Structure 1
Amino acid sequence: MTISAIQVGILHYPGALLSAVQGMAEQFYLANKICHQNGLGDVFQTYIFDSRQLSNPLNQPAGELQVIILPPCLDDRSYLAPENVVTDWVKQHHQNGSIICSVCAGAFVLAKTGLLKGRRVTTHWALAEEFARLYPETEIDCNKLLINDGDIITAGGLMSWIDLGLELVAQFTNTQVMRQLGKYLIVDTGPREQSYYRSFTPRLDHGDEIIVRVQHQLQRNFNNPIMVKAMAQQAHLSERTFLRRFVAATGLKPTQYLQQLRIQKACELIEASGMSFEKVAEGVGYEDLSAFRKTFIKITGQTPKEFRKRFFRAAPASAETQKQ
């Protein structure tokens, strides 16, 4: 049995990550080899489009593109202000029925088309705050590595183009082909979350000097009991005014901020040492191990044990130790 060819367009717009552009083309090439082994024929026809050539009709494929992919981008000047020829081209193909996909900062290019209004999407966790500020009508969920919304698919991290490719292979062939491709590439085809890799990096450039001083205090004393009322008094503000200014500056309530800060410190301890979870919890200010575990799962999407298994690597034994 053969499957009708799926035409995939990868858009090489200014600043697009070349390794992702070429890598996805090669991923679909390998997918076709596995499709052949399963009697499906060549399923994917891949085209790379240079944005400078989009207005030339001679550079368009003979049929409609079923999929268009906006790769990740490292140049903020490019993804924050994409060329009109790029956004117009994407919108036109979406109107013609193409599935539009973005990876990492490619979500900014896609959002510029207006197609993400009212949608739930993802992008790189480090870009989520800026995305939410620029496109408040779009729901951003940077904990997710990939969100498939039918005609719009968004992927989060720089390397999540691999996950997007696997998603498309599964969608247009079957999960067996996708898993075979994952095994050949030696990549994990199981479900993952971007929250596994996220780090808490507090904003300190918001311009509220009083809140910045409070943030520095929290950074120094995160493992001690901290009361909102006491923080407000030290800031010489009423509790209500303090809460309003803190949320406006950081995007989080003080208790949420402290939780994020403590779990980030816990992750650093787990990654850097073989310290017991009880000692880690105590070291970041949690007396109740159960409360620490629940908060850790809520923020990172995995248990402390799963986090250690994924990210902790013991130092190799020295030559002297090996001799003993």
Structure 2
Amino acid sequence: MVAQRSVIEIGLLLYPGVQTAALHGLTDLFTVAERIAGEQAGARLPGLRISHWAAEPGDEPRRVFDTHPEWPDDSDGRLAAVLVPPSLFGLPEATPVHHLTQWLAARHGAGAIIGSVCIGGLLVAEAGLLDGRSATAHWSGAEAFARRFPKVRLEPHKPIVDDGDLITSAGLMAWSEVGLRVVDRLLGPSIASRTARFLVVEHSDSAQHCGSNFAPLLGHGDAAILKVQHWLQANGAVDVSLPAMAAQAGLEERTFLRRFRAATGLKPTEYCQHLRVGKARELLEFTNGTVDRIAFSVGYLDPGTFRSTFRKITGMAPSDYRKRFGARQVEVAARG
């Protein structure tokens, strides 16, 4: 069967104190998603290999478990995603993590989506990947997290922060939602929904009701374009230009345009629109800012242009989106 399908790999990082329930739960979740994808789409979707990675102190992590060792490995060591499960007790103070964080940073630099659950976000922050980025953390350790990593835009009131190439979650039991977000990225929203339904767990991504959240392609192998994608993700694609993007890539503008579209499937302007609208959706859901203020904060000087772009991408006006998915409306519905 897999001989006719491409193979993508998700790595789960083991470290001292890792919660084994989350580790094996994620393995099972991805295994279910792989089976459903094979049944529903056959060779149209890739096979999903799930691996566990562990390291002796000072050594780089190596694969210690593989759900499909019989499958050919032609990935050149690339991982489509790496998840850091939680710990029940936090990271021991004396635990050396430099070898783990270097490995995480290298995997992210090679195009892997990085996801973390609860205290696992500490390793992602320690790797420097969250500097200048939005993230969340468990409420009990939020103050300590903020002191330790002042460059991170910490939002502990949010249960999950999905920032495209980086996904962080606050709750110890949030591993199922993080896993489903990764399934959505790699196998599509219908496989994620079917996986959630099979496991009888909720999949809370509001995007499933009005089109998918933007899931940028990161595994294309073009390092120059990937560098620009990470840069855009970090600054929200606000106040950027074609010359600035080309400069980030170290390419002439025409070459950059050609390679960017070949790698991502989108023109740079379209890509930036998706990033901005994704941020706007988050602000509409979790803040009370006016639509015009939100438009300005995500990079639109003309609110009319923002409204038109938002409707084009989501199928809804910003005000209607807030009425349907805003946190206050969700809370009222839950009480009712």
TM-score normalised by the chain length of structure 1: 0.56
Number of residue pairs matched? 204
User: Residue 173 of structure 1: CA displacement?
Assistant: 1.5
Q: 1:69 aligns with which of 83, 87, 95?
A: 83
Counterpart code for 2:11: G
Residue equivalent to 2:138: 124
In the other structure, the counterpart of 1:50 is 54
- Post-superposition Cα deviations, 1:136-156, rounded to whole Å, max 9, x if no partner, equal 110111222222222222122
The 1:108–1:58 alpha-carbon spacing in structure 2 relative to 1, beyond 3 Å, is closer
8 Å CA contact 2:177, 2:204 repeated in 1? no
Separation in 2, partners of 1:82, 1:58: 19
Shift in CA distance, 95/80, structure 1 to aligned 2, threshold 3 Å: farther
Q: Is the 8 A contact 2:51 2:64 kept in 1?
A: no
Q: Is the 8 A contact 2:134 2:155 kept in 1?
A: yes
8 A Cα contact 1:110 1:116, kept in partner: yes
- Report the counterpart of residue 31 of structure 1 in structure 2: 33
* Contact 2:51-2:63 within 8 A present in 1 as well: no
1:8 touches 1:65 (CA, 8 Å); kept in 2? yes
Shift of 1:7: 0.7
Cα 1:56/1:127, change in 2 over 3 Å: closer
Rate the CA distance shift 1:5–1:148 in 2: closer, same or farther, 3 A: farther
**Secondary structure of 1:13's partner?**
coil
Match of 2:18? 16
Q: Deviations over 1:142-187 (max 9, x none)?
A: 2222222222221221111100111111111121111111111111
Q: How much identity, in percent, do the aligned residues show?
A: 30
Q: Deviations over 1:196-255 (max 9, x none)?
A: xxxxxxxxxxxxxxxxxxxxxxxxxxxxxxxxxxxxxxxxxxxxxxxxxxxxxxxxxxxx
Q: CA deviation at 1:125?
A: 2.4
Aligned counterpart, 2:106: 92
- Secondary structure of the 2:6 match is coil
Task: Give the deviation of 1:308 after TM superposition.
Answer: 3.6
Structure 2 residues not aligned, in runs of 5+: 66-72, 207-325
Q: What's the CA shift string for 1:67-101, capped at 9, x where partnerless?
A: 11111112234389552221121122222222221
Task: Give the match's secondary structure for 2:101.
Answer: helix
CA 1:78 to 1:68, structure 2 compared with 1: closer, same or farther past 3 Å?
Answer: farther
Aligned position for 1:284: none
Which of the residues 97, 116, 119 maps onto 1:102? 116
8 Å Cα contact 1:55/1:85 also seen in 2: yes
Q: 2:97 aligns with which of 74, 83, 105?
A: 83
Paired residue secondary structure (1:68): strand
User: Where does residue 247 of structure 2 map in the other structure?
Assistant: none
Contact 1:82–1:109 at 8 Å: present in 2 too? Answer: no
What is the one-letter code of the residue matched to 2:49? Q
CA distance in 1, matches of 2:11, 2:124: 15
AA aligned opposite 1:55: E
Task: After superposition, give the CA deviation of every residue in 1:257-295 in whole Å (9 maximum; x if it has no partner).
Answer: xxxxxxxxxxxxxxxxxxxxxxxxxxxxxxxxxxxxxxx
SS in 1 for 2:193: helix
Q: 1:117 Cα deviation (Å)?
A: 0.7
Contact preservation (8 Å) 1:87, 1:112: yes
Deviations 1:289-322 (A, max 9, x none): xxxxxxxxx9x7556654546xxxxxxxxxxxxx
Q: Secondary structure at the match of 2:103?
A: helix
Matches of residues 157-196 of structure 1 in structure 2 within 5 Å? 157-191=171-205
The Cα offsets for residues 80-139 of structure 1, whole Å up to 9 and x where unpaired, read as: 955222112112222222222111011111111111110001122222222112111101
Comparing 48-57 and 144-153, the one that deviates more: 48-57
What's the TM-score once normalised by structure 2's chain length? 0.54
Cα pair distance change 1:45/1:8, threshold 3 Å: same
SS in structure 2 opposite 1:154? strand
Name the CA shift for 1:84/1:304 in 2 (closer, same or farther; >3 Å): closer
Q: Secondary structure at the match of 1:132?
A: helix
Give, in whole Å, the separation in 2 of the partners of 1:84 and 1:119. 21
Question: What residue ranges of structure 1 are gaps of 5+ in the alignment?
Answer: 193-297, 310-324
